[in-house]
Structure 1
Amino acid sequence: MVKAGERVQDVRVTEDTLTVDLLDGRTISVPLTWYPRLLHATEAQRNNWQVAGGGFGIHWPDVDEDLSTEGLLRGAPAPRESTPA
């Protein structure tokens, strides 16, 4: 269950890390390799983010990436595309 304090306060993206500050004071840091769209984006594209989903999500319009605080807190990387056998 998502809690009110799990809303996004700030987002920072470096060359190798995504860091999200939540309203309840927690900070989530995950490797950028978990999110290939962000990993391969330019600095300008990474910095062009918007709070979405009532404050519980982050959207990057330039690279069509959407993440939720719930998924970040679970430590869930982006789903891998399946390859044919």
Structure 2
Amino acid sequence: MFYSNDQYRINKVWVDDAHVWAETTNGWKAGYPFKQWRNLANATQEQRQNFFLSRYGIHWPELDEDLNFEGMFADAGLCKRSDGENAIFYQA
């Protein structure tokens, strides 16, 4: 488990039939089942695949849904939440 001053970079985000997944450069993988969010649960697979990445999360503009990377990894028990929720980030 890391502390709030550690940072990890996202290198991959993908969706399957039931989940959205993210992976860090150090190999951590975390995912959320779509059923946890009504907008994602009711979306088509095409809508679920239509996301973009910001520095700290995943965004589905058509569905008006946003997920934070650090929240995904904290909920998976891989880290503690930091004060700013920005310890896990994406950089193009």
Work out the percentage of aligned pairs sharing the same amino acid.
Answer: 32
1-side partners of 2:75 and 2:62: how far apart?
24
| TM-score for the superposition, normalised by structure 1 | 0.69
Task: Identify unmatched segments of 5+ residues in structure 2.
Answer: 77-92
SS at match of 1:33: helix
Give the residue type in structure 1 aligned to 2:43. Answer: A
User: What is the aligned length?
Assistant: 73
Give the residue type in structure 1 aligned to 2:7. Answer: A
1:2–1:70: 8 Å Cα contact kept in structure 2? no
Task: Identify unmatched segments of 5+ residues in structure 1.
Answer: 77-85
Root mean square deviation of aligned Cα: 2.0
The Cα of 1:2 is off from its aligned counterpart by 6.7
The Cα of 1:23 is off from its aligned counterpart by 2.7
Alignment counterpart, residue 50 of structure 1, candidates 38, 52, 58? 52
Give the residue type in structure 2 aligned to 1:66. Answer: D
The Cα of 1:24 is off from its aligned counterpart by 2.7
Greater than 6 Å deviation, 4+ residue runs: none
User: Whose relative contact order is higher, 1 or 2, with alpha carbons under 8 Å and at least 6 apart?
Assistant: 2
1:13–1:46: 8 Å Cα contact kept in structure 2? yes
